[in-house]
Amino acid sequence: MSADERALAVEPSLTTAWGRTRLGAFLSQPISWVFLVVGGIIAFLSLYPTFFLFYGSLTDAPLGVPGHFTLQNYVKAYSDPEAYPLLLNSFIFGLGASGLSLVFALTLAWITIRTNAPFRRLFELTAIIPNILPPILVSISWVMLLNPSNGLINALFVKILGLEKGPFNIYSMPGLIFVESLILTPLAFLIVAAALKSMDPSLEESAKTLGSNEFGVMRRVTFPLIRPAILAAGTLNFVRAVESFDTPAIIALPARIEVFTTKIWREALGSFPTNHNLAAAYGVGILAVALVFVYLYRRFTSQVENFSTVTGKGFRPHQIDLGGWRYAATSVALLLLILLVVLPILVLLLVALLPYYHVPTWQTWQRLTLDHFRYVWATPRVHKAFINSLFLALVGATVCMILASLASYITVRTKIAARGVIEGLVFIPWAFPGTAMALGLLWAYVDFPIPIYATIWIILIAYVTRFLPYGLRAVSSTIIQVHKELEEASIVCGAGFMTTFRRVLMPMMRPGVMAGWIILVTIFLREFSATLFLYSPGSEPLGPLLYFLYLDGMRGRVAAIGLVISVISVILIAIAQRYSRWESK
């Protein structure tokens, strides 16, 4: 053996030894074990059902039936020249809705968190209500308000101003963007409000000391500091709008505006029989777009130290005294609240109190009935659904936020090489259209060795799998703001990882964690697309019940249940918000 050969022979063993040393060092860190456990759980939750969808996109037969490998689903999905103008429509719709929702959310969050505007606490509490209502109900409410033929607002304008026809037409691209943005605003509000709550005011105070006015502070200090939260909310809302089907089905279809999801529906999910293979191929495309956005988001927030604003010093969020302008701020917030909450809820109340919905006349008041609320009160099926949903919402959101907090810590705080993979994994199930993912979950768990299919636990797993990105985004935007000095101090004082995480980081991340928890509770209380395929008749939650009643044309009952859910959610949100305030500590 030559010297060179000997060197070559030695090198692998050296590499192996070095590798072993590195592995040993890696495993000696408690955080590495946390990474392995959390990463393992997320990888399983995400990849197991996704595998079935990927597999489905590459085969020519439905799952469970022997098929052949094919790329035909991709060819069919992406070779149609008509698909690309629709992608542009979807892009305009997504960008418009997400942008407008950010404007609404930022305005509302700034007024409620950072100013002394009267009634700001009430606004903060109620801003989340639209997230509780099924999006389809919000869209229908706005059709009842703004349709060109007999929409209530249009009818009012015609009557008061003597116009020939109403000034608004919901069946248009601006109408579509407007309604979707209202649906998306609560999510953006929660994320941005959490970031504003967690911000150290000393930076803003320094800027003021150096002569900057309130507007300058807002533009140069506040806004850049909450940029990660804005980007997080924007990213989530963009993808959520692009993949939404309910609003386009109700508003875009009569307006003859086609978006990408309506095409997916026509070609795959709404075809007969459903072409799941094609739907999965479309899903993979949406997944690719979503992952690009995750990457962009990570790039935007890569300089995390720049955003660290929560340090070891105690503080309260900086509150701006608006003087006489505080009433103007209240008016703006009130106007937004009227759009977001008051008008849709009033329409729902009307629907819930009428035997069937019609444009109100004087005779309407004689027809008002409490029958739909009596149904809610007297039907055991409804009571059971409430109990199931409350269990799923409270336990599911808590499990999800624990997992999201640990995953967020790993992706934002550690230097573990594969930390970015966790974030990618979290987003995979979210990127598939709801119905396609529901099928993936059904395929994955129907034959699972542990008999959880058709029990409430399978729904819990589905919720955590599908909605983890919401929790992750909410908590990540807060953890970015927490300066490392706090955990370093804890570690120097001898605390281990879990103690530091529990006693230092969790309290600091509390606004983000609670914001995420609230988002998830409100979504879980009404979720149906994933639930529909997984629940058994004995474990029916509210989402499918609402869906069936809607399917059967019982809008009054749907509205009545929707209103009761809203009241329960407001109580839960009020409790959660109490725990999310810094001043409550």
Where do contacts with another protein occur on this chain (CB under 8 A)? 62-65, 143-144, 147, 149-150, 249-250, 253-254, 256, 258, 262, 265-266, 270-276, 355-359, 367, 439, 442-443, 446-447, 453-454, 532-533, 535-538, 548-549, 551-555
Residue 395: CB partners within 8 Å, gap ≥ 6? 460
Of 195 and 257, the one with the shorter C-beta distance to another protein is 257
Of 306 and 364, the one with the shorter C-beta distance to another protein is 364
Of 461 and 486, the one with the shorter C-beta distance to another protein is 461
Angle at 163 between CA 157 and CA 164, to 5 degrees: 125
Of 266 and 316, the one with the shorter C-beta distance to another protein is 266
Residues 384, 540: contact at Cβ < 8 Å?
yes
CA distance 278 to 276: 5
Of 211 and 273, the one with the shorter C-beta distance to another protein is 273
Token duo for residue 375: 């149904």
What pairs with residue 69 in β-bridges?
59
Nearest approach, Cβ of residue 239 and another protein (Å): 23
CA dihedral 164, 165, 167, 169 (to 10 degrees): -160
The DSSP code sequence of 416-448 is -TTHHHHHHHHHHHHHS-HHHHHHHHHHHHHT-
Nearest approach, Cβ of residue 160 and another protein (Å): 20
Of 441 and 509, the one with the shorter C-beta distance to another protein is 441
CA dist 562 to 336, 380, 444, 522, Å?
21, 17, 31, 12
Burial of 281-316, coded b for 16+ CB within 10 Å and e otherwise, reads: bbbbbbbebbeebbeebbeebeebeebbbbbeeeee
CB-CB neighbours of 424 under 10 Å = 18
The DSSP code sequence of 444-469 is HHHT-SS--TTSHHHHHHHHHHHHHH
Nearest approach, Cβ of residue 390 and another protein (Å): 21
Nearest approach, Cβ of residue 561 and another protein (Å): 13
Of 50 and 262, the one with the shorter C-beta distance to another protein is 262
Nearest approach, Cβ of residue 375 and another protein (Å): 10
Of 501 and 533, the one with the shorter C-beta distance to another protein is 533
CA distance 354 to 32: 59
Residue 545: CB partners within 8 Å, gap ≥ 6? 381, 382, 385, 561
Of 158 and 253, the one with the shorter C-beta distance to another protein is 253
Of 120 and 372, the one with the shorter C-beta distance to another protein is 372
Nearest approach, Cβ of residue 459 and another protein (Å): 14
Nearest approach, Cβ of residue 464 and another protein (Å): 21
Of 328 and 368, the one with the shorter C-beta distance to another protein is 368
CA distance 581 to 576: 9
Nearest approach, Cβ of residue 454 and another protein (Å): 6
Residue 413: CB partners within 8 Å, gap ≥ 6? 479, 484, 487
Of 436 and 565, the one with the shorter C-beta distance to another protein is 436
Nearest approach, Cβ of residue 41 and another protein (Å): 24
Nearest approach, Cβ of residue 233 and another protein (Å): 29
Helix, strand or coil, per DSSP, at residue 533 = coil
Residues 360, 350: contact at Cβ < 8 Å?
yes
**Identity (one letter) of the amino acid at 240?**
R
CA dist 226 to 91, 191, 193, 524, Å?
25, 10, 9, 27
Of 115 and 154, the one with the shorter C-beta distance to another protein is 154
Nearest approach, Cβ of residue 172 and another protein (Å): 14
Nearest approach, Cβ of residue 243 and another protein (Å): 17
Nearest approach, Cβ of residue 435 and another protein (Å): 8
Phi, psi of 482 (to 5 degrees): -85, 120
Residues 85, 501: contact at Cβ < 8 Å?
no
Token duo for residue 237: 């809302």
Angle at 401 between CA 455 and CA 449, to 5 degrees: 30
